[in-house]
Amino acid sequence: MKAIILVGGEGTRLRPLTYSVVKPMVPVANRPFIEHVILKLAAHGINDIVLAMGYKPDSIFAYFKDGAGAGIKLSYSLEEKPLGTAGAVKNAGAHVEDTFFVLNGDTFSDIDYTYMLAFHRRNRAKATIALSHVEDPTRFGVVETKEDGRVTAFIEKPARDKVTSHWINAGVYILEPSVLDCIPGNQFFMFEKGVFPPMLDRGERVFAYTSKSYWIDMGRPSQYHQLNCDVLRGLCSSPLYRVKDITIEQGCAVHPSAHITGPAVINGGCNIAEDATITGPAVIGRNCLIGKGASISNSVLWDDIIVGAGASITGSIIASGAKIEESTRLEDLTINQEAPSDPITKKI
Ligand code: GDD
Ligand code: MG
């Protein structure tokens, strides 16, 4: 079965954390975010994956090349101009002949795609939208339903006083190919405004699959941090991460006096010096040097980071290549040192 993943246009970065790494490639438990998403689909037999994107994804090509694992067909659909969520699917779905999935490429969930497909078929739906329950629906598409799951209204990003439900569009759809007929070609078009509300006006069979499973939109640094911690704690599952208290990849040197408390995952080539403390949840990328007596807790470090002796990092995300000076204290910060002379430091 096919899935089209909307991985975004030119602006798809996790700003201000990094400008060079595109959002799908930011590491979650040391593997690219989008790889977790792809393998999760494949685990449900959805293994014909199209990445719909509006920028030249050199880093994605370089990482995946032609495939994302055994039995997964991976292809790319590029947009010459911004086409919006539905326009991008139209562009990518030229040859879709069967029921297919669409995923917003910045969401991660434990939604059971197999059950969702059975639900879609049982209802003879033209479109099924997965819903998640959130505290603040104003940043999302709010979906109203009848008791049988039939969708009655779709309101994208309602004002606070217009919120009628806390069930929101989780950014996972199952569509029949005929939905593509509602989307004009080569034109900016959004599911949230141009496709779902008119389908409801026409009385078409749009159903909501409500799910209480784990769900997050990782499009902001605080949620990206949360996702890493949740994967490590086993609050959401990924075929790429086996929940384990402490994982230390090959080629690391850990001083016997260093103290590591899980959940922690430390990628290859790291050097953890004497009396350093790592307190989970903690993700440490490849080739990091954690200096003598430094402490890291509840943080996500990418690759090639030097943490000076006695430095303390709590609740933070540090992008690749950063050098944290001796005895520095960082709390709830994102550090982007892509231009070493001009580090960008922001509160998470
Ligand atoms: N290829 C492509 N082309 N992808 C796009 C485009 C485009 O022109 N525009 C947006 N996307 C991708 C984004 O990269 C993201 O992965 C996804 O489509 C959704 O876009 P966002 O910009 O992240 O939307 P949002 O988070 O404000 O709202 C959407 O997601 C919510 C769930 O997280 C809506 O679908 C809401 O209804 C929904 O609740
Ligand atoms: Mg989003």
Q: Is 247 helix (H, G, I), strand (E, B) or coil?
A: strand
pLDDT at 10 over 70: no
**Rounded mean pLDDT, 125-148:** 97
Report whether 267 contacts 303 (CB < 8 A).
yes
**Distance of CA 82 from the midpoint of ligand 1 (Å):** 12
What is the reported pLDDT for 217?
94
Is the C-beta atom of 169 inside 6 A of ligand 1? Answer: yes
**Distance of CA 219 from the midpoint of ligand 2 (Å):** 5
**Rounded mean pLDDT, 204-219:** 96
- For residue 105, the ligand 1 atom closest to its alpha carbon is 16
What is the reported pLDDT for 94?
79
| Beta strand pairing call for 312-314 and 295-301 | parallel
**Distance of CA 9 from the midpoint of ligand 1 (Å):** 10
Is the C-beta atom of 158 inside 6 A of ligand 1? Answer: no
Omega prior to 263 cis, within 30 of 0: yes
| Residue with CA at minimum distance from ligand 1 atom 2 | 8
- For residue 191, the ligand 1 atom closest to its alpha carbon is 35
What is the reported pLDDT for 38?
97
What is the reported pLDDT for 129?
98
**Rounded mean pLDDT, 151-157:** 97
**Rounded mean pLDDT, 37-61:** 91
pLDDT bucket at 239, cuts 50 / 70 / 90:
very high
Active-site residue flag, 162 = no
> Residues 6 or more apart from 7 whose CB is under 8 A from it?
22, 23, 24, 34, 51, 52, 53, 57, 60, 105
Residue 192's DSSP bridge partners are: none
Tokens 């434990």 locate to 110
- Rank 18-22, 304-308, 336-340 by mean pLDDT and report only the highest: 304-308
pLDDT bucket at 196, cuts 50 / 70 / 90:
very high
pLDDT at 8 over 90: no
Is the C-beta atom of 149 inside 6 A of ligand 1? Answer: no
Q: Which two tokens stand for residue 121?
A: 């078929």
Mutate which of 33, 104, 163, 172 for ligand 1? The one with the most ligand atoms within 8 Å of its CB, which is 104
pLDDT at 11 over 70: no
Q: Could you report how far apart the first and last alpha carbons of the chain are, in Å?
A: 38
Domains of the chain, CATH where assigned = 2-233 (3.90.550.10), 246-347 (2.160.10.10)
What is the reported pLDDT for 337?
83
- pLDDT tens digits, one per residue of 50-84: 999 987 778 898 999 877 887 899 999 999 998 99
- For residue 52, the ligand 1 atom closest to its alpha carbon is 1
Average pLDDT, the chain: 94
Is the C-beta atom of 219 inside 6 A of ligand 1? Answer: yes
Is the C-beta atom of 6 inside 6 A of ligand 1? Answer: yes
Q: In sequence order, what DSSP letters do the residues of 264-316 get, joined into one string?
A: EEE-TT-EE-TT-EEEEEEEE-TT-EE-TT-EEEEEEE-SS-EE-TT-EEES-
**CA 58 to chain CA mean position, Å:** 19
Query: Does the CA dihedral 48-238-128-153 come out positive or negative?
Result: negative
Catalytic member of 81, 157, 162, 347: 157
What is the reported pLDDT for 333?
92
